Chain A
Amino acid sequence: MTQPVSPPRDDTPKLSPQVEPSPWRVVVARADVRTLSLLGVLAALILIGGITKPDEFLDTRNLQLVLTQASVIGVVTVGMTFVITSGGIDLSVGAIVALASVWATTVATQEYGFTGVLFTAVIVGVGCGLVNGLLIAYGGMVPFIATLAMLASARGLALQITDGNTQVVTIDGILDLGERDSYVLGIPPLVLMFAVVTVIGWLVLNRTTFGRRTVAVGGNAEATRLAGIDVRRQRLYLYLLSGLCCGIAAFMLIVLSGSGQNTNGNLYELDAIAAAIIGGTLLSGGRGTIVGSVLGVLIFTTITNIFALNNLQSDVQQIAKGAIIVAAVLVQRRTANTT
């Protein structure tokens, strides 16, 4: 005893030994097997890309393109991850992206400039999410049906607005964002936006009461209700959040393509759901991972890119995606059974 007074030690039950592990060990211990295996898959894909097309794939421009493409669907996937974690589903994300992108690029909207376009895209996304949320949380509709209805109507409305035409963006501020001049340290602004959304999404899901409630609702909605939490309001917020992400993604798509089209966001719902599921978010709810979803998006985008560089047609890509989803879910079932 070096100190004159030592605290009585036997009164309190022993805590687990508080050894300070090295930071790297903490990272490895916290990253579950699934995240590591996703990283492994991604690394293998990069290896395949590098071997089959060493010049094209590892080219900086190509990598920037891959990340940019991943960014748009990635933002949608972050919102989708929240919805699925809560035990819901949002089939309308692609259609909302389309509607927001065309509404924000009409001649009338473009008169209000950069902020007008951004604002409109976000408001349309949130508005669609509000309708979804109200129908599901307070109208008692099944998420599958409510968002399927939204899918149909939002796409229809998008077609009505554009009449099938491409709406070209004429605002320089928006077009500039897609130019190389605006890259920050070689990173496209869209990728930065995706990174910001990802970090905020991770923080909200893992470090806030909102995230905790999302997980609780997905894990056991009845128990959550009986614990005194407003489950319906939480559900409403979740679809609003998904709509918000769609609005942001629509703006990113406008920047990327310099236009608004009613065919934008086609099948985003499938890509976002698939990315979330292979990332490790439980389709039945109660467990969600933003990191996994982002890795899922990167894996899908990288596959598409490698296939395209190797002149493999989209039919082969689709088959490969399907196989990956099946494999990922089988692995998920296996790990679920063993734990």
Chain B
Amino acid sequence: MAPEPPLLTMSGITKSFPGVRALDGVDLDVLPGEVHCLLGQNGAGKSTLIKVLAGAHQPDDGTIGWRGEQVVLRSPIAAMRLGIATIYQELDLVEGLSVAENVYLGHEPTSAGFVVRGKEARASTAALLKRLGHPEIDPGRLVGELSAAHQQIVSMARALSHDVRLIVMDEPSAALDPDEVDNLFRIVTDLTAEGVAVVYISHRLEEIRRIGDRVTVLKDGRAVAGGLPADSTPTREVVALMTGRNVEYVFPPRPAPRDLPAPVLEVRGLSREGEFEPLDLVLRPGEIVGLAGLVGSGRSEILETVYGARKPSTGQVLVDGKQLKPGSVRTAVAAGLGLAPEERKAQALLMLESVTRNVSVSSMSRFSYGGWLDRNAERDAARKATRELSLRPDNPSALIRTLSGGNQQKAVLARWLLRGCRVLLLDEPTRGVDVGARAELYAVIRRLADEGLAVLMVSSEVPEVLGLADRVLVLREGRVVHTAPAQELDEHRVLDLVMEGSPAS
């Protein structure tokens, strides 16, 4: 490559959130007209980095150079004015507005400063859509009526409606069919031919090989490799870069192999249209089974369907051989299932309430006589459950929102412990939990299993699944592609499976 001055130079970018250092001195440089791929596991810092680049986050430290000058991206508008556009995974379109209105939202062509010249906006939107290879999208249609793929095109048209020099695409192919992916790549190629640079984020290595020029790999908030050639770097090397860890988690020892009791949970041919394919699963008391897969592989959907929070398209869930009513959380809970969901604050916790009330919410009838609560019994039982899990602070009336992520998770576990739950479903059990507190949580989960609970866990952190689970199901796009005891798998192999799809055997 000729010694071209870089378009963008980010150096030493550091960003901390409470309890987490999301970015730790990351460098990234992007040349005009190149496709620069950003690769990393979940939590490696990719989305934080692109939010800094989009002006949505302010870095704690580090500098950003843009076309040779140092700049500060104070806001998304400031970034947009410089010519940096970001297309997020969750598209930020207004569904009730037309295509043209969305494209020119905030910078509408106007007469006399405020009368929107709609015809002009529609005409130039049509030109942009044509340039993107989708002349069939009507600029006057409501965005809400378009398919996901077409909405993404609209989002791109919006980026191009500004004088854009760099487009950041966050997993643009995640929602697309293979045909649509081809069109996306053609657009990317056209853009780069015009000198526009693209920062492309994807989990799929084969895509990066197809369109990428250079690759930067992030891991634990650091750039472990910058500017590798995308087409010639061996997959092994990329995977090794993504997985080589600085932080070593301590996992509790697995119990010696033994005969487990009869299954408590059986899942037969459970599926949900468009989310995951028929799944069979047997879970015995004392065992931890892990589901490994990327975001969008159907992991959370499987857990929530087993739990009855989503209605299955086909299949059954049986506890002790008895079928649960499909799509009913209440029968699942009554049969002994408990879920610690991924979005703890939104799906599990009563944020205005105390620890006691959060723990007792699923077992209130145990402390009531004809609806009348025995609050002392309630508090004592909740305290017993939280002490068993060493929840801190040891104060039943502490407000749940004042607790750390790890202790909030313990409160959720205590809820099910108190309920006398027999099958624990854990969705990303260490999401939002400090690295230091994770080992303790792992030990708690293992102890619960040793005491006879059956645990089904989901995690996007492969080492977590491998370290904690006894048996692992590897998922890719809603399908189990491999099942094996955790000891027989390693991180590289699982990542190969979830990214490349076919079992190498």
Interface residues of A (CB under 8 A from B): 13, 16, 207-210, 212-213, 215-216, 219-220, 222-230, 286-287
- Answer whether A208 and B373 are a contact pair too, CB < 8 Å, given A13-B394, A16-B395, A222-B346: yes
Cβ of B330 within 8 Å of any chain A Cβ, yes or no, is: yes
- Answer whether A209 and B351 are a contact pair too, CB < 8 Å, given A226-B341, A228-B329: no
Complex alpha-carbon distance, A222 and B349, angstroms: 9
Q: Which residue of A lies closest to B362 (CB)?
A: A227
Complex alpha-carbon distance, A267 and B333, angstroms: 43
Question: Residues of A contacting B357 with CB < 8 Å?
Answer: 212, 216
- CB atoms of A216 and B350 under 8 A apart: yes
Complex alpha-carbon distance, A278 and B339, angstroms: 37
Complex alpha-carbon distance, A228 and B361, angstroms: 9
Question: Residues of B contacting A16 with CB < 8 Å?
Answer: 395
Majority-rule SS of B interface residues: mixed
Interchain nearest-CB distance for A13 vs B (Å)? 5
Provide the B194-217 mask, 1 if CB < 8 A to any CB of A, else 0. 000000000000000000000000
- CB atoms of B368 and A226 under 8 A apart: no
Cβ of B372 within 8 Å of any chain A Cβ, yes or no, is: yes
* Shortest beta-carbon contacts, A-B, top 3: A228-B333, A219-B350, A209-B364
Taking CB atoms and an 8 Å cut-off, the chain B residues in 481-504 that contact chain A are: none
Question: Residues of B contacting A226 with CB < 8 Å?
Answer: 307, 309, 329, 339, 341, 347-348
- CB atoms of B387 and A220 under 8 A apart: no
Q: 19 additional contacts, CB 8 Å, given A207-B373, A209-B368, A229-B362? A: A13-B394, A207-B372, A207-B375, A208-B371, A208-B373, A212-B357, A215-B350, A216-B350, A216-B353, A220-B349, A222-B347, A223-B349, A224-B361, A227-B362, A227-B415, A228-B330, A228-B332, A228-B362, A229-B330
Q: Which residue of A lies closest to B341 (CB)?
A: A226
- CB atoms of A229 and B371 under 8 A apart: no
Q: Which residue of A lies closest to B374 (CB)?
A: A207
Taking CB atoms and an 8 Å cut-off, the chain B residues in 357-382 that contact chain A are: 357, 361-362, 364-365, 368, 371-373, 375
- CB atoms of B362 and A212 under 8 A apart: no
- CB atoms of A223 and B330 under 8 A apart: no
Interchain nearest-CB distance for B344 vs A (Å)? 9
Complex alpha-carbon distance, A210 and B415, angstroms: 19
Question: Residues of A contacting B365 with CB < 8 Å?
Answer: 209
- CB atoms of A287 and B329 under 8 A apart: no
Question: Residues of B contacting A225 with CB < 8 Å?
Answer: 309, 329
Complex alpha-carbon distance, A223 and B341, angstroms: 9
Question: Residues of B contacting A216 with CB < 8 Å?
Answer: 350, 353, 357, 361
Interchain nearest-CB distance for A49 vs B (Å)? 36
- CB atoms of B372 and A227 under 8 A apart: no
Complex alpha-carbon distance, A229 and B419, angstroms: 13
Q: Give the contacting residue for A223; candidates B307, B333, B347, B372; CB below 8 A.
A: B347
Cβ of B352 within 8 Å of any chain A Cβ, yes or no, is: yes
Cβ of B334 within 8 Å of any chain A Cβ, yes or no, is: yes
Provide the B323-336 mask, 1 if CB < 8 A to any CB of A, else 0. 00000011011100
Complex alpha-carbon distance, A228 and B349, angstroms: 13
Complex alpha-carbon distance, A229 and B372, angstroms: 17
